[in-house]
Amino acid sequence: MIDTHFHSRVMRQKGVDPGEHLKRAFAEGLVCAVDIGTELGDLEERSGLVAEFDRVYMAAGLYPSYAGAEDLPSLVAELETSILEHQAASIRGQRPRLVAVGECGIDLHWDFADTVCQQELLELQIDLADRLDLPVVIHSREADDPLLEVFRRHSPKRGGILHCFSSGPEMMRRCLDLGFFISFAGNLTFKNAELIRSSALQVPMDRLLFETDSPYLSPEPMRGRPNHPAFVAHTYRFFSRLRSVPMEELISQVAANVHRIFSLP
């Protein structure tokens, strides 16, 4: 099983030891995980937290909360510099491989910044991903229309992932048409998640991913506890029952999808 989205640094901030949990997760059947960035300058610290694991990859991006800043292009230029430094160190074997730009996107649930500023910050990061030949990891909250507006103007060349997909089938269809992968998190298992489940019932198997978004959003029956990558198994099992797909088939299909989107060997 693979957790395509977790946050080692936030886990540690919440008093959860990411190394300990990853060790346990790999012993329990996790084969790969992607540590996702939200902040400028967090790559070195996150790399240190996951350094001992060969199959933990990195992403780096600026969360929509940065969209209120004065000079968005220079922020993204700083992000680019940090990614290039990371990639150089990674080639020397000193840092885990970086496989995506993100998470970035639009969040209209919180009052981060104007929609237009959030769209600009997202588009700058899609540009960056295109320059680096990487996919993007997209965060979307209450922002379907403004997000589609950006994608129609500028759809990422190497594709991307709608992380923690929480919208309905219509939004999903539009994103699939643009080439995106759909990643389901623990909220798929929540009692009131009919809308998400209606998407999960229709998602094509070759565009499907799973994630924990650790330390947030623990799936049932772990809801309310801090999440960690091993809990992705609950979301896999839930989906396997929902779609009547055998677990082995689901696991190998999702692994193939992960390899495709992140260009893993």
73, two tokens: 């292009």
Q: Is 163 annotated as a binding residue?
A: yes
What are the DSSP calls for 87-146, one per residue?
Answer: HHHHHTTSSPPEEEEEEEEEETTTT-S-HHHHHHHHHHHHHHHHHHT--EEEEEES-HHH
Residue placing its CB nearer to Zn ion in the complex, 46 or 243: 46
For 162, the 3-state DSSP assignment is: strand
Residue 80 vs 213, nearer CB to Zn ion: 213
Question: Collapsing DSSP states into helix, strand and coil, what is residue 35?
Answer: strand
Beta-bridged to residue 137, according to DSSP, are 102, 161
Phi/psi region, residue 164 (left: phi>0; alpha: psi -120 to 50; beta: rest), is left
Of 25 and 70, nearer to Zn ion (C-beta) is 25
Distance CA(110)–CA(118), nearest Å, equals: 12
Closest approach of Zn ion to the CB of residue 103, in Å: 5
CA distance 10 to 16: 9
**Burial group, residue 243, by CB count within 10 angstroms (0-12, 13-18, 19+):** middle
The stretch near Zn ion (CB under 5 A) out of 9-17, 75-83, 93-101, 211-219 is 211-219
Q: Is 103 marked within a binding site?
A: yes
Q: Which of residues 3-62 bind Zn ion (CB under 5 A)?
A: none
* CA–CA dist 44, 263 (Å, integer): 23
**Among the residue ranges 59-67, 108-116, 127-135, 208-216, the one whose residues contact Zn ion (CB under 5 A):** 208-216
234 is in an annotated binding site: no
Residue 123 vs 213, nearer CB to Zn ion: 213
Closest residue to Zn ion, judged by C-beta, is: 213
Q: Cβ of residue 244: shortest distance to Zn ion, in angstroms?
A: 29
Which CB sits closer to Zn ion, 61 or 146? 61
Among 35, 42, 144, 213, indicate the residue that binds Zn ion (CB under 5 A).
213
Give min distance, CB of 231 to Zn ion, in A: 14
Is 7 marked within a binding site? Answer: yes
Annotated binding site: 5, 7, 103, 139, 163, 213
Annotated binding site for a divalent metal cation: 5, 7, 103, 139, 163, 213
Would you tell me which residues interact with Zn ion (CB under 5 A)?
213
